[in-house]
Amino acid sequence: MAIVTLSTDIGNYDFIIGSLKGQLLSLHPALQIVDISHDLSSSNLAESAYICRNAFRYYPENTIHIVLVNLFEFKPTHLLVTKYGNGFLLCPDNGILTMICRQKPNEVIKVSLLQNEPVTSLRFLAEFAAAATKLALGKYPLQLGEQFTEFCERYPMRPSFGGNWIEGQIIFIDKFENVVVNISKEEFEEYSQGRKFDITFGRSQIISHIHENYGVAPNEECIACFNSAGMLELSVKNGNIASLFGLQGYKDEINTIHRNISNANAKNWFYQSVKIYFREEEKPV
């Protein structure tokens, strides 16, 4: 039984998600449809990509992942299909593909829409349902359209490294206001080399210890740990670190970004920073 996951910014308030599921099941009644989230950010693609990437890794081979965020940022003329891990990824051509993959995939397929019909939300979603159904029935991505290289590319920000510091950005704040920073455990350990450190954030707040999890820390203490996705996470046990220290994950402004097809006005991203300073051990005199 083929599995199709849905990750969208559409929410559950109106009929759109229900209609997409109906379209999928009408084409292939045996599909197993799984909701990952319908509350993805329409503008903060780094946050949406973080959620999708870390959910997708747990699904079995040949799972079909449909990601629908900011569908109409650009005029919809096609959708994108690519191999992703042991499965497939379908998404609009607005940069979310490379945000999730973190690199340009070897093969991306453009599935063109019929241009003689108005492209409403449901019409666009019907194309996603049709493409996903063909994959579920054993079609290869290249059988759905044509190979394509001129798609929109956007990439997640990477931490910066200095002689004795790493600077990362807040990419996600969860419902408990825990803050996730784009510094991985592997990057931290490779760069720290066992040195003592100070994690600085907010109004000159400092954390100098990595906890295994929240349970081993005292109440109301600022905590740093590496979460289930392997990323640095800051929190206050039984508290809300984002509100307490004025931490924000995302700001945007209109700017010009690079798009392979052409230059287009779109949102540029700005993230609040968290910095780790490493302390060299003082040698005894």
pLDDT in tens, 194-232: 899 999 997 778 999 999 887 777 777 899 999 999 999
State residue 282's pLDDT score.
59
DSSP secondary-structure letter at 210?
A: B
Q: Which CATH number fits domain 3-147: 3.30.465.10, 3.30.70.1230, 3.40.1180.10, 3.40.50.10790?
A: 3.40.50.10790
Q: How far apart are CA 271 and CA 179, in angstroms?
A: 12
What DSSP element (H or E) covers 129?
helix 121-136
Backbone angles phi, psi at 192, to 5 degrees: -75, -35
Q: How far apart are CA 266 and CA 188, in angstroms?
A: 33
State residue 251's pLDDT score.
60
Taking 70 as the pLDDT cut, the residues of the chain under it are 250-270, 281-285
- In the chain, ranges of CATH 3.40.50.10790 domains: 3-147
**Neighbour tally for 183: CB within 10 Å:** 26
- In the chain, ranges of CATH 2.40.30.90 domains: 157-285
Topology (CATH level 3) of domain 157-285: Elongation Factor Tu (Ef-tu); domain 3 (2.40.30)
Does the global pTM surpass 0.85?
A: yes
State residue 10's pLDDT score.
95
